[in-house]
Amino acid sequence: MAHRIEVALKPGFLDAHGEKVLKQAREDLHLNNIQAVRTIKVFLVDSDLDDKSLIAMATGPCSDPVIQHYSIDAPMAPQLFDSSAPDWIIEVGYRPGVTDNEGKVAREALELMIGELPSGRGVYTAVQYCIQGPLSREEMEELATGLLCNDLIQRHIVVSFQDLNSLYHQEGSPFYFVPRVTGTTEIVVEQIDLSEMTDQELIELSKNRVLVLNLQEMKILQKHLQDPSVLEERKKMGLGRAYTDLELEALAQTWSEHCKHKIFNAKITYRTPDGEEQIDSLFDTYIRRGTQEIRRKRGEQDWCLSVFKDNAGVISLNEKWNVAFKVETHNSPSALDPYGGALTGIVGVNRDPFGTGLGARLVFNTDVFCFGPPDWDQPLPKGLLHPKRIFEGVREGVEHGGNQSGIPTVNGSILFDERYLGKPLVFCGTGGLMPKKIGDRPSHEKKAQPGDAIVMCGGRIGKDGIHGATFSSEELHEGSPATAVQIGDPITQKKMFDFLLRARDLGLYNSITDNGAGGLSSSVGEMAEESGGFELHLDRAPLKYPGLQPWEILVSEAQERMTLAVPQEKLDQFLALSKKMDVESTVLGTFTDSGKFHCLYNGRTVAYLDLDFVHNGVPQMELTAIWEEPVHPEPDMPEPEDLGRELKKLLSRFNICSKEYVVRQYDHEVQGGSVIKPLTGLMDDGPSDAAVIRPDLERLDGLVVSHGIIPRYSDIDTYHMTMCAVDEAVRNAICVGASLDHMAGLDNFCWCDPVQSEKTPDGHYKLAQLVRANKALYEICTAYGVPCISGKDSMKNDAKIGSVKISIPPTLLFSVIARIRNVEQAVTMDAKEPGHAVYILGITRPEMGASEYFVMNGFIGNTVPMVDIESALARYHALEQAISKGLVASCHDCSDGGMAVALAETAFSGGLGMEIDLDSVLQDQVERLDHLLFSESQSRFIVTVPESDCTAFEDIMADTGIARIGTVTHEPTLRLSSRGAFVVDEAITDLKAAWKQPLDW
Amino acid sequence: MKSQVKAIVTTGYGTNCEREMAHACRVAGADQVDIVHLSDILDGSVRITDYHFLNLPGGFLDGDNLGAAQAGSHRFRYARIAGSGQRLMDQLLEFVEKGGLVLGICNGFQLMVKTGLLPGFDDNYQERLVSLTWNDTGRFVDRWVTCRVPEESRCIFTRGMDSVELPVRHGEGKFVVQDQAILDRIEQENLVALRYVDPDTGEPSAEYPANPNGSVNAIAGICDPTGRLMGLMPHPEAFHHFTNHPRWTRGDCSRNEEGAGLKMFRNAVEYLREHL
């Protein structure tokens, strides 16, 4: 039978987790009668242990005798509070099959003492919350489901204290429920014969099996198995004119929007009021071509090494190192289970650079989140979690994933908009470093050879994440399958990475890729393109629990797995090293040059497809895009009397305010190469524009990491949204000292469904928005010479809950990596010393459309900021030069909230004041002071310069739009004057307080 | 010829600060610095006792899943070295007995207290008397703190140091003791190696953020009675270059200075040169 070990803190030690729950229950759920919360850790040991082993387990790995006490098969709850009992007990554990990292480690610890447990036995964990207060059962249920438990992956029980003892010891006690995956499943390979199906039946099939293929695609599948030569070959393998379920799943997965980017590769007819044009693939026309042109122009100086073909883009950093960089999104899973979804997002994107070329050592993470407003107080459609709960879950998931993996989180943003209520966006990015060569092979190239063993390494396969690829290509609905949610296991992955880096350096494999969306089907299928085919024995795959069907093994997205091509002569050495380093590796078959996608189960062929058909059989979509410029009412509002007040209001906007609460919980310094941290300035709390790291501690050159994102502007024109996002990323990097001639970008498009249909009646317009974004991307990237090296699109970010459809605003995240020649010349954004001159670089125009200021006042307007590429380019080159000469004391970009926000941030981050003459600001047709202060005109900076360097600085910046507008002052006040009068006169402590307060949780 | 100082930096099972710790050892002048995966010790191919300076870096052993370094210390106690039957812990104790230096940072410190290597009263290096538990805030925190070395400290690593700024990056860094007697003894025997202080007054602080986790007596690090074993929550290996300092662009750490965290590694190397 199972045994329960309960562990609690001894009296006198603060239960920090209990206190946190108490605070959130009061603040977020308004359970004002809750008085105290204490927690108990529960280990359910599903194994017949003798008393001695149980005690050893309880006193050893399960508890810390200095601070904790424990009980075995008896409740701790009655002893938790000094002189009284709890009123309620809520226990939260996992559902069967859900990753339980603590349980796994506890099992390993137990096995160290008593030897291996029989399969099917294990240790499961749960948390018990003991609660005091005059509270009803309904309130306890609300606490359980609203804060403590996510029913998709967890189960909970609510028990009143009176019932505890009887329930605890009764037959079939819920406290002894072992969440073991049980039941026997007959292994079945289904045959699905499409040949006689009508169109309607094909559509039904696609829908019922969640294939997410359209009629045209289904008909191609139907036709394929009517080809006599194909049938002849199948016959030899014992297959007929019906597809097996594995084949259909593999095709659906490979042909999914997620994997094939069908919209980006579609043939598009693009109409505007001025005419019509044909676009044959947005990706080829605007993204790939832009990068090609930049590379060609650089010629010998081209530092791009591997773009758009591997899991991450690779550039050369210096003569010793290459850098691989990738940003992914994990939106749908994060909507369902914010913690697990985000955790899987970060550890998942880690595997991209790790699985690029021959593998990269990971050196930084970046995260950008888009949420609904955390103070949302309107009713939410059923099925949606409150945005604050999503925020907290995502924050914590990324914290655990990033911190435990030992990768510094160096850069990020959090944005808020009501339209992210339905689907939050969770962008996670990772950069890795690889030596130029591994042995005598270029590190950025890989090639599986025919005859190489297919080896799966790392975690085991469960039902988790089945249908992830097809799922993220669908909008959410109330019946979304819970199996789409996975929980990452950073430590299993870390152990695997430690092993694989060593195997890499020993030259033990020819190719590597990660198991992400589509699982083995995708990883083996993609690597097979290198060798020309594969033979995969699915029955050999290690499973978390029995009962998986062959198709589930093929497409499961269970995490922490890499697939490798290991030459036969190195297989023994590879497997021995793996075993020694406590990492599971299993040979699943062989790469071949047969041209076939060939899967077997117990020796019988269960999938046999032409690799070419799998990869290239999907037809090109044909779509129509129609652009009509939207017209929004121009605001009719008087110029505010108190501009200082407006400034403070802006500083308190969720999009502008301090994100220190989140940043501090992410390790941004591990690996020891931190140069510019996310928080900076006198009190270590100013907002850095970009990160600088030194990934090689022996060198003085480094990496700059930044990003730009401004979805608000999509309400007016995605063309300018894109221009501004790229410009923001570039100017953020320039701020800290990056080289513009060694800068690469990554585009991540998160769009709402742009395919016209009954459920998307405005698809033509949304597709036109996508076209315009791509045109802008081409235009600005080629002008700046910043090539896109990789990217990703997520095209179905709509949530349909009941009859309500919520679409996100079209969102482009542009991420930048750049080289900085000498990190000792890097610059931060905080004002440094009184007496330094303050400059603004760039011209301010009345570009108020979709600005934070307009939106704050309830308007969108039409005058969206536009990038003046030519003048920006000259300014960036000059500023880069001035920074490298050490002339710049501080540099901060003007973005959300405009010049006034940038001035305030520069001043209060340095703990200093400023006196600014607004009449000196370079401007063009700005007629109002509020517009001058809060316009979001692009390509502008606030720079401070020591008096002694002003002449040299002005010489370098001459003719690039420079104006000296004031002085840094000792007196801690921000004073902005116009025509001799102060129009803003605010203590920097007040400004800073306004900026810090909103997310100071 | 001067003695060769050999440093070992362990890694594996979730450790993640091994590279910068090895870098700090190298800059500090150690002649040989090896990053060694625990599996290389467990299979008998590397012996800790062949080195003089054992570095236990930060990270998340086993994800800190049962509590920081809980499962990690359990492994030291139970995992046996292939071929010898010796426990990992036995080899560690042999190393300590031979006079080696041990520096545990963050997760390494957690490992040291949970195995009982610290405080190591009466030559007993296997009894857990103190612990590191959840920060009072219940949160992981990355921030720079100011620490002071008590004048009477016996610790070898902090010799000649007075006050130092270092980053903390942990969720479970609150130093606690089994009972008051243990704390009294740590204080009386001058085993406190480092305290969190208020940067303005230089006095030990109980208040967040100066004391980032609520540690009793503002203890940030302790040593054993020999002074050769030290554990601390702040990360000296993360301050090996002036650009690591959060305010170096404000001139708070000048270009001519080296990262102040290096001093601990220099002290170790210097001590070993004299005593080998």
Mean pLDDT of A653-676: 97
- Whether residues B17 and A694 touch (CB distance < 8 A) is answered with no
> Is the four-CA dihedral A446, A451, A455, A461 of positive or negative sign?
positive
**CB-count burial class (<10 Å; 0-12, 13-18, 19+) for A482:** middle
Helix (H, G, I), strand (E, B) or coil at A102: helix
Distance of alpha carbon A259 from alpha carbon A311, whole angstroms: 12
Measure B56 CA to nearest chain A CA, in Å: 15
> Chain A contact for B142, CB < 8 A?
yes
pLDDT along chain B (276 residues), means of 10: 87 97 98 98 96 98 94 95 93 97 98 97 96 96 98 96 97 97 98 97 96 98 98 98 97 89 98 93
Token reading at A638: 């008087």
Q: What residues contact A935, with CB distance under 8 A and at least 6 apart?
A: A844, A845, A846, A847, A848, A851, A865, A898, A899, A926
pLDDT band for position A304 (cuts 50, 70, 90): very high
- Please say if B235 is a catalytic residue: yes
Question: Is residue A888's pLDDT more than 80?
Answer: yes
Best to test chain A binding among B34, B42, B65 (most A CBs inside 10 Å): B65
Distance of alpha carbon A861 from alpha carbon A856, whole angstroms: 12
Measure A697 CA to nearest chain B CA, in Å: 7
Q: What pLDDT shows up at residue A325?
A: 98
Token reading at A94: 């996992």
ipTM reported for the complex, 2 dp: 0.97
CA distances from A91 to A30, A168, A177, A314 (A): 21, 12, 11, 47
Q: What is the pLDDT of residues A575-600, one digit of tens each?
A: 999 999 999 999 999 999 999 999 99
pLDDT band for position A467 (cuts 50, 70, 90): low
Q: Which of B39, B143, B243 sits opposite A684 (nearest CB)?
A: B143
Measure B177 CA to nearest chain A CA, in Å: 7
Helix (H, G, I), strand (E, B) or coil at A930: helix
- Show residues of chain A in contact with B140, CB under 8 Å: 399, 403, 665-667
Q: What residues contact A491, with CB distance under 8 A and at least 6 apart?
A: A101, A105, A404, B13, B14, B60, B62, B63, B65
Distance of alpha carbon A574 from alpha carbon A585, whole angstroms: 9
Measure B228 CA to nearest chain A CA, in Å: 24
Token reading at A630: 């939207």
- Whether residues A680 and B136 touch (CB distance < 8 A) is answered with no
- Please say if B253 is a catalytic residue: no
Instruction: Name the residue among A657, A704, A998 with its Cα closest to residue A828.
Output: A704
pLDDT band for position A481 (cuts 50, 70, 90): very low
> Chain A contact for B208, CB < 8 A?
no
Q: Which of B14, B135, B246 sits opposite A677 (nearest CB)?
A: B246
Q: In chain A, which among 396-415 make CB contacts under 8 A with chain B? A: 399, 403-406
Contact between A91 and A77 (Cβ < 8 Å): no
The residue type found at A469 is A
- Whether residues A406 and B11 touch (CB distance < 8 A) is answered with no
Mean pLDDT of A750-776: 95
> Chain A contact for B252, CB < 8 A?
no
Question: Is residue A823's pLDDT more than 60?
Answer: yes
Q: Which of A20, A491, A682 sits opposite B14 (nearest CB)?
A: A491
Question: Is residue A276's pLDDT more than 90?
Answer: yes
Q: What pLDDT shows up at residue A472?
A: 52
Measure A694 CA to nearest chain B CA, in Å: 9
Question: Is residue A1's pLDDT more than 90?
Answer: no
Tokens 């009068």 belong to which residue? A981
Token reading at A794: 């997520």
- Show residues of chain A in contact with B176, CB under 8 Å: 13, 66-67
CA distances from A756 to A273, A289, A752, B58 (A): 19, 27, 11, 53
Q: What residues contact A755, with CB distance under 8 A and at least 6 apart?
A: A263, A621, A623, A763, A767
- Show residues of chain A in contact with B253, CB under 8 Å: none
- Whether residues A666 and B176 touch (CB distance < 8 A) is answered with no
**CB-count burial class (<10 Å; 0-12, 13-18, 19+) for A416:** buried
Q: What pLDDT shows up at residue A465?
A: 72
- Show residues of chain A in contact with B129, CB under 8 Å: 66
- Whether residues B77 and A60 touch (CB distance < 8 A) is answered with yes
Q: What percent of chain A has pLDDT over 70?
A: 98
pLDDT band for position A470 (cuts 50, 70, 90): low
Q: Which of A66, A102, A827 sits opposite B66 (nearest CB)?
A: A102
Following CA atoms B88, B90, B96, B100 in sequence, which dihedral angle do they give, to the nearest 10 degrees? Answer: -50
For β-strands A604-610 and A585-591, DSSP reports them as unpaired
Helix (H, G, I), strand (E, B) or coil at A986: strand
- Whether residues A672 and B244 touch (CB distance < 8 A) is answered with yes
Q: What pLDDT shows up at residue A19?
A: 95
Q: Which of B66, B144, B176 sits opposite A13 (nearest CB)?
A: B176
Beta strands in B44-191 (DSSP E): 53-56, 101-105, 130-133, 141-148, 163-170, 174-177
Q: What is the pLDDT of residues A697-745, one digit of tens each?
A: 999 999 999 999 999 999 999 999 999 999 999 999 999 999 999 999 9
What phi and psi, each to the nearest 5 degrees, are found at residue A727?
-60, -40
Tokens 């309880």 belong to which residue? A58
- Whether residues B250 and A102 touch (CB distance < 8 A) is answered with no
Scanning every residue of chain B, which has its alpha carbon at the shortest distance from the alpha carbon of A580? B39
Distance of alpha carbon A461 from alpha carbon A519, whole angstroms: 9
What phi and psi, each to the nearest 5 degrees, are found at residue B245?
-65, 135
> Is the four-CA dihedral A663, B260, B110, B39 of positive or negative sign?
positive
- Whether residues A498 and B12 touch (CB distance < 8 A) is answered with yes
Taking each helix axis as running N to C, give the angle between helix A643-651 and helix A988-996, from 0 to 180 degrees, rounded to the nearest 10.
Answer: 40
Measure A667 CA to nearest chain B CA, in Å: 6
> Chain B contact for A60, CB < 8 A?
yes
Question: Is residue A894's pLDDT more than 80?
Answer: yes
Contact between A326 and A345 (Cβ < 8 Å): no
Q: What is the pLDDT of residues A76-128, one digit of tens each?
A: 999 888 788 999 999 999 988 888 999 999 999 999 999 998 888 899 999 99
Following CA atoms B37, A362, A292, A725 in sequence, which dihedral angle do they give, to the nearest 10 degrees? Answer: 180
> Chain A contact for B131, CB < 8 A?
yes
- Whether residues B67 and A664 touch (CB distance < 8 A) is answered with no
pLDDT band for position A484 (cuts 50, 70, 90): low
- Show residues of chain A in contact with B144, CB under 8 Å: 684
Contact between A732 and A687 (Cβ < 8 Å): no
Instruction: Name the residue among A678, A643, A640, A650 with its Cα closest to residue A974.
Output: A643
Distance of alpha carbon A902 from alpha carbon A526, whole angstroms: 47
* Cα end-to-end span (Å), chain A: 44
- Show residues of chain A in contact with B71, CB under 8 Å: 61, 105-106, 108-109
Token reading at B17: 């600060």
Tell me chain A's radius of gyration from C-alpha atoms: 29
> Chain A contact for B216, CB < 8 A?
no
Q: Which of A581, A669, A698 sits opposite B169 (nearest CB)?
A: A669
Average pLDDT, chain A: 94
Distance of alpha carbon A672 from alpha carbon A651, whole angstroms: 32
- Whether residues B137 and A682 touch (CB distance < 8 A) is answered with no
Q: What is the pLDDT of residues A371-395, one digit of tens each?
A: 999 999 998 887 789 999 999 999 9
Best to test chain B binding among A105, A129, A701, A892 (most B CBs inside 10 Å): A105
CA distances from A46 to A96, A106, A110, B78 (A): 13, 12, 11, 21
Query: In the CATH scheme, what is the code of domain B6-275?
Result: 3.40.50.880
Distance of alpha carbon B129 from alpha carbon A508, whole angstroms: 46
Measure A889 CA to nearest chain B CA, in Å: 8
Instruction: Name the residue among A695, A632, A197 with its Cα closest to residue A435.
Output: A695
Question: Is residue A956's pLDDT more than 50?
Answer: yes
Cis-peptide into B119, omega within 30 deg: yes
**CB-count burial class (<10 Å; 0-12, 13-18, 19+) for B97:** exposed
Question: Is residue A534's pLDDT more than 70?
Answer: yes
Q: What pLDDT shows up at residue A479?
A: 45
Tokens 């005058």 belong to which residue? A863
Beta strands in A764-918 (DSSP E): 788-794, 798-801, 804-807, 811-820, 837-841, 890-893, 913-917
Question: Is residue A468's pLDDT more than 60?
Answer: no
* CB burial readout A40-52, b (16+ within 10 A) else e: bbbbbbbbebeee
- Show residues of chain A in contact with B246, CB under 8 Å: 677, 679-680, 684
Q: In chain B, which among 74-93 make CB contacts under 8 A with chain A? A: 74-75, 77-79
Q: What pLDDT shows up at residue A587?
A: 98
Element (H, E) at A553: helix A550-555
What phi and psi, each to the nearest 5 degrees, are found at residue A445?
-115, 150
Tokens 């999938």 belong to which residue? A607
Question: Is residue A464's pLDDT more than 80?
Answer: no
Taking each helix axis as running N to C, give the angle between helix B107-115 and helix B70-78, from 0 to 180 degrees, rounded to the nearest 10.
Answer: 50
Measure A612 CA to nearest chain B CA, in Å: 41
Catalytic residue among B106, B147, B223, B253: B106
Distance of alpha carbon B28 from alpha carbon B52, whole angstroms: 14
Tell me chain B's radius of gyration from C-alpha atoms: 17
Three-state DSSP string of A822-838: CHHHCCCCCCCCCCCEE
pLDDT band for position A474 (cuts 50, 70, 90): low
- Please say if B106 is a catalytic residue: yes
> Chain B contact for A107, CB < 8 A?
no
- Show residues of chain A in contact with B43, CB under 8 Å: 580
Measure B115 CA to nearest chain A CA, in Å: 11
Beta bridge pairs of residue A799:
A476, A806
pLDDT band for position A480 (cuts 50, 70, 90): very low
In chain A, count H helices and then E strands: 31, 43
